[in-house]
Structure 1
Amino acid sequence: MSSPSATLAVWSSAWLSGAAAADDVLDALQDWAELHEVVAADERLAATLEIPLRGEAGGSPAVLLAALRRSGAVNAELVMPVPGDVRGLGGASQFASEALRAGEAVVLNGLGIVPERLGGNVDTGIIRWTVFEIERTSPTPNVPLGEAEHELTGAMRVAAGMLLELGVAKQRAGVREELQARVAERTKARWPAGTPQRALRVLQRAAEVSAILELAMEDEPGGALSASAALKRAEALRPLFHAVRTARCAAVAEAVRALDVSDAH
């Protein structure tokens, strides 16, 4: 699976362009949490978009969709910032700070939306979506999908080799089965009909690489790496995490473009 923000970006764009029904968007979000609530970051935005203010009882995802329609939004953009790479956040702001903390956000027509899991798992948890007004209007240029896929394929080979080098398979019994289970969990998200096959393939591969990286970052059972060894490992894996983020953003951008029915006519 990619991220709640990727799901919202693709499905809301499909709905806004007429390629999906509102119920389809709401159903897709259920893959991430049983309940979702929506709040505005400040009073003026709450009044403008007619959604509850942060600190009050949140509104439903349907309220968010109505607010997006009211705002004139068309296509959404996925951003996945990390320290040292904050592209897409549009400069220092409360939105940028919270998006960086979450590691993801959705940007639409001067609005930034950040998800926050409030506890629990997919079956019992709640995700709160906070909507911010932002100055950014032009989309962040994405790496072409073909280039992102090529980089991700290379990352896959390096990540697999890293598992061997770190001896993860020797330290963890059943590591292959564990990896398969993680990949299955991360790729169960549904996508709109008409999503390009190449974008779906890249999202699948990104999930596979991400699962491998998670295993590689975990300490072996019953022990822990030294601080210097852990730092060395993190440094070695950082370019691979970057490849995953780049690929996900490129795949979502391609899906959003392809699903823009209004632009196609």
Structure 2
Amino acid sequence: MSSLSATLTVWAGSWLAGDSAPDDVIDALHQWAPMHIIGAADAETALSTGLDWPGVQDGAAPILLRLVRHATEADGTELRLVLPAPGDVRGLPAGTEFARAALAAGEGVIVGEPGRSGLGLVPVVEGPDVLRWTVFGIPSVPATVEHTGLGEAEYAMREAIRDAADALLQLSSVRTGRPGTDPRRRIAEALDDRAHHRYPDSVPVRALRILDSADQVAAILAVAEDDSPTEAPSASSAAAREQLLRPLWTAVRTARVAAVSACVRSAHRA
């Protein structure tokens, strides 16, 4: 699983459909950290959700389930993953505190019916082994971004794996003298870390393939950006590296959102 928000979206969707138990969702969340805390973003949200404000409370996972259950009781409500990045804010409710927090975190979950008020959930690392969830009120849940089909997403990931590998060869870099290990080993370690986060049995096979492919591409890109013992030799080379990798990161986010959305839709239809 690529992010805490993806974990909550997929597992909560499976639970709402009756395919997973509440303990399954809680166990999946706790794979990220043993302690989760939760609080409201403001007094109004605290009043509507029963959360603490200011301050936080322990036992966030069961509280998240309660909030998701309550927010999805009406017909037409959605459980939606968002993975924003600078220059790519698709799916965010413009001008909201939730949008700003989700962009800073690079992830979030929207719960609600498009055009009506809803909730936004954003996780951040609070400290060693502690994750904090902040709950935001969303005045109007934005319309669903046009779905990327699984066929299109799978094809895009096959192309991205090739392009990411080519990008590593194209990057102009020089040795920095920093200690490092073989890039292939770093990629394998990153993928092994992701493998500890399991998916519900109800996840469609094609969606699972897409998520696995997206993890492969992300691992390669992370090595190219941060983990390599080399660095771009000039500012222009650094800019060229960013320009080369940015569309690949966009493809990864698009594929992940498409696959997670398909998981939720499949669970809902079941």
Q: TM-score, normalised by structure 1?
A: 0.90
Partner of 1:112: 120
The count of aligned residue pairs is 258
Give unmatched runs, 5+ long, in structure 2. 113-117
Match of residue 102 from structure 1 = 105
Shift of 1:137: 5.1
> Cα distance 1:220–1:44, how it changes in 2: closer, same or farther (>3 A)?
closer
- 1:49 and 1:71 in contact (8 A); partners too: no
- Name the CA shift for 1:15/1:164 in 2 (closer, same or farther; >3 Å): same
For residues 173 and 49 of structure 1, the distance between their equivalents in structure 2, rounded to whole angstroms, comes to 48
Match of 1:136 in 2: 141
Specify the code of the residue in structure 2 equivalent to 1:2: S
1:13 partner SS: helix
Confirm or deny that 1:38 pairs with 2:38: yes
Give how far 1:5 is off: 0.4
User: Which secondary structure state, in structure 2, belongs to the residue aligned with residue 179 of structure 1?
Assistant: helix
Q: CA deviation at 1:232?
A: 1.0
Q: Which residue of 2 aligns with 1:235?
A: 243
Indicate how the Cα distance of structure 1 residues 75 and 24 shifts in structure 2: closer, same or farther if over 3 A, else same. farther
Q: Deviations over 1:160-195 (max 9, x none)?
A: 011122378x99542222211111112321111111
Task: Tell me the equivalent position of 2:216.
Answer: 208
Query: 2-side partners of 1:72 and 1:251: how far apart?
Result: 20
Q: Distance in 2 between matches of 1:195 and 1:231?
A: 38
> Residue 95 of structure 2 corresponds to which residue in structure 1?
92
CA contact (8 A) 1:76 1:256 kept: yes
2:192 aligns with one of 158, 161, 184: 184
Deviations 1:173-228 (A, max 9, x none): 42222211111112321111111011111111100100000111137537663222
SS of 2:66's partner is helix
State the TM-score, normalized to the length of structure 2. 0.88
Could you tell me how far 1:140 is from its partner in structure 2?
A: 2.3
Q: 1:174 to 1:22 in 2, by over 3 A?
A: same
Cα pair 1:111 1:131 within 8 Å, conserved: yes
Give the gaps of 5 or more residues in structure 1. none
Change (3 A) 1:3 1:117: same
Q: Which moved more, 1:110-119 or 1:50-59?
A: 50-59
When structure 1 is superposed on structure 2, of 216-225 and 110-119 the one drifting more is: 216-225
Report deviation, 1:71. 2.8
Alignment deviations for residues 109-138 of structure 1 (CA, whole Å, 9 cap, x no partner): 111101111133xxxx21111111111153
1:55–1:219: structure 2 CA closer, same or farther, 3 Å change rule?
same
In the superposition, relative to structure 1, how do residues 13 and 230 fare at CA in structure 2: closer, same or farther (>3 Å)? Answer: same
Alignment of 1:245-264 (within 5 A): 245-260=253-268, 263-264=269-270
Supply the AA of the counterpart residue of 1:144: G
SS of alignment partner, residue 132 of structure 2: strand
**C-alpha RMSD of matched pairs (Å):** 2.2
CA displacement at 1:142 relative to structure 2: 2.2
Which residue identity is paired with 1:88? G
Structure with higher RCO (Cα < 8 A, 6+ apart): 1
Letter of the 2:156 counterpart: E
**Does structure 2 retain, via aligned residues, the 8 Å contact 1:33–1:127?**
yes
